[in-house]
């Protein structure tokens, strides 16, 4: 198939592109490199099946070739990135998603939206299942990202119901692995790079907030499975293994053998207190289960970070 990946030069997008090329597909990456980089695709550059288009998807784009699948991942994703780029973030979720849905409709292509666990906000239900509507502050510091993704989901559903576009929605929970920008502020690259540099680990709040970390290869396997099954309702993808941020910091210190200490700072406004995916739907629909343990995934990420720190 010929497959479009928006945001294909980003962290998850570059791993997805690699997997799709390995499966023998042709991949058209559309990216404006606002938070991604050509470097993430450098090792694939010799593939004649990879075509990279530099383009801001908030502006319309028309591709002459027949497209069969669209994975729509383009969006700033780390809290530091989207708070620096609030308008670009809202525009890519709204105008960018609109343009890609237009492409899906014109091309009769199937489109998958990479949504997020942030649609649940600071959740009052735990673990989070897809039926939960969420607890989002639209005017808080995370509003630009959360509402952009919530709008994108609503737009996808409108194109599905009004134009019969073949759509999929996944809600991705915290995912990590090689090629995350070490300075993107997200907790995995932040703690790993601090530990490798011998700096103290910047734990926000008292570290009792929880997250559940999924290794990128597990996520990408799930994404492709969701695309190739028939259910059009949102599906959570993430690893249910929940851990406090304090415990996570201690794991990083043990794994790196660093003598760094934990340094506690203020908890950012609206930081979700608990997050854990309920993946019953993914288990039932695509027989998907994360396979990479936190320890194994962190070791792989560390190997990469050591070379890139």
Active-site residue numbers?
145
Token digits of residue 156: 């996808």
CA distances from residue 8 to 18, 51, 55, 133 in whole angstroms, order as listed: 10, 11, 12, 29
Contact 17, 29 (CB under 8 A): yes
With CB under 6 A as the contact rule, which of the stretches 36-44, 121-129, 184-192, 217-225 interacts with ligand UDP?
184-192
C-alpha 54: how far from chain center:
20
Q: Locate 34 and state its tokens.
A: 């606002």
Instruction: Please report whether residue 211 would count as binding ligand UDP according to CB under 6 A.
Output: yes
Paired tokens of 157: 């559903």
Give the Cα separation of 44 and 192 in Å (integer): 26
Rule CB under 6 A: say whether 179 interacts with ligand UDP: no
Window 36-95: residues binding ligand NAD (CB under 6 A): 36, 56-58, 73-77, 92
Rounded distance between C-alpha atoms, residue 286 and residue 170, angstroms: 12
216: contact with ligand UDP by CB under 6 A: no
135 near ligand UDP (CB under 6 A) = no
* 276: contact with ligand NAD by CB under 6 A: no
- The reply on whether position 268 binds ligand UDP by CB under 6 A is yes
User: Among residues 28, 169, 203, 220, which is the contact residue for ligand UDP, using CB under 6 A?
Assistant: 203
* Residue 79 lies near ligand UDP (rule: CB under 6 A): yes
The rounded Cα 16 to chain-centroid distance in angstroms is 11
Q: How far is the CB of 160 from ligand NAD (least distance, A)?
A: 19
Interaction between residue 222 and ligand NAD (CB under 6 A)? no
Complex with ligand UDP: residue 79 or 277, whichever CB lies closer: 79
Binding to ligand NAD by residue 148, rule CB under 6 A? no
In whole angstroms, what is the distance from residue 60 CA to residue 252 CA? 43
**Cα–Cα distance, 281 to 251 (Å, whole number):** 30
Q: Which does residue 79 bind out of ligand UDP, ligand NAD, none, counting CB within 5 to 8 angstroms by kind?
A: ligand UDP
The angle at the Cα of 60, spanning 138 to 231, to the nearest 5 degrees, equals 65
Using CB under 6 A as the criterion, which residues of the chain lie in contact with ligand UDP when the complex forms? Answer: 79, 174, 185-187, 190, 202-204, 209, 211, 245, 268, 271
Using CB under 6 A as the criterion, which residues of the chain lie in contact with ligand NAD when the complex forms? Answer: 6-7, 9-13, 30-36, 56-58, 73-77, 92, 96, 114, 116, 172, 174-175
């Amino acid at each position: 198939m010929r497959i479009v990946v928006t945001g294909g030069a980003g962290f998850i997008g570059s791993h997805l592109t690699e997997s799709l090329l390995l499966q023998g597909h042709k991949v058209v990456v559309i990216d404006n490199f606002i938070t991604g980089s050509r470097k993430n695709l450098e090792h694939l550059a010799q593939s004649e099946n990879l075509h990279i288009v530099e383009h801001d998807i908030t502006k319309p784009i028309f591709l002459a070739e027949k497209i069969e699948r669209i994975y729509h991942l383009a969006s700033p994703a780390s809290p530091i990135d989207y708070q620096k780029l609030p308008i670009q973030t809202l525009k890519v979720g709204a105008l960018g998603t609109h343009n890609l849905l237009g492409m899906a409709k014109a091309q009769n292509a199937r489109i998958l939206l990479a949504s997020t666990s942030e649609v649940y906000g600071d959740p009052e239900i735990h673990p989070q299942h897809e039926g939960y509507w969420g607890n989002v502050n639209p005017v808080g510091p995370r509003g630009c990202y959360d509402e952009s993704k919530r709008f994108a989901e609503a737009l996808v559903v409108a194109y599905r119901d009004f134009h019969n576009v073949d759509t999929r929605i996944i809600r991705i929970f915290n995912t990590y692995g090689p090629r995350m920008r070490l300075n993107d502020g997200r907790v995995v690259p932040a703690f790993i790079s601090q530990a490798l540099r011998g700096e103290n680990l910047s734990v926000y709040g008292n570290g009792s907030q929880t997250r559940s970390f999924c290794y990128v290869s597990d996520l990408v396997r799930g994404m492709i499975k969701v695309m190739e099954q028939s259910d059009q309702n949102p599906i959570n993808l993430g690893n249910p293994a929940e851990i406090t941020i304090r415990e996570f910091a201690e794991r990083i210190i043990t794994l790196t053998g660093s003598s760094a200490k934990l340094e506690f700072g203020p908890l950012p406004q609206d930081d979700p207190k608990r997050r854990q995916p309920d993946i019953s739907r993914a288990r039932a629909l695509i027989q998907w289960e994360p396979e990479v343990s936190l320890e194994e995934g962190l070791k792989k990420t560390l190997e990469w970070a050591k070379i890139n720190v």
